[in-house]
Amino acid sequence: MKQHFIAAILIGAALPFSAIADDAHHKDKSAVSASPAASQLADGEVRKVDKDAKKLTIRHGPLTGLDMPAMTMVFQVKDPALLDQVKTGDKIRFSAEKVGGQYVVTRIEPAR
């Protein structure tokens, strides 16, 4: 009986450490996979170019790296020069990242 009690205490003491190690593993994995996925190109259509505000409105397909479904939304642009590459109605492929709580277009290329 005493051996079972000691074993139960040892197992109970080890479980929290196991959970912490497992949690850290999952956090590291998501941090590593978030960056490449966020930079994947998504299909979109430019709905509005606002050079004064340095914003693009894009109707886009799913942004898997950002866990975002298809929708139309306004994005900031990382480099205002990107706005000179597009006009309303253009079909594009683009990548976006979440930076400081804002969704930012980091790359644009014409759709194929």
**Euclidean distance between CA atoms 45 and 72, whole angstroms:** 9
Taking alpha carbons only, the member of 55, 58, 36, 39 closest to residue 47 is 58
The reported pLDDT for the residue numbered 5 is 58
Tell me which residue range forms the domain holding 1.
1-38
**Euclidean distance between CA atoms 49 and 70, whole angstroms:** 19
Q: How many domains does the chain have?
A: 2
Q: What is the pLDDT along the chain (112 residues), one digit of tens a residue?
A: 666 656 556 566 555 554 544 444 444 433 433 444 455 899 999 999 999 999 999 999 999 889 999 999 999 999 999 999 999 999 999 999 999 999 999 999 999 8
The reported pLDDT for the residue numbered 6 is 64
- In Å, what is the CA distance from 2 to each residue of 5, 7, 11? 5, 9, 14
Does 30 share its domain with 68? Answer: no
Residue 61's CATH number: 2.40.50.320
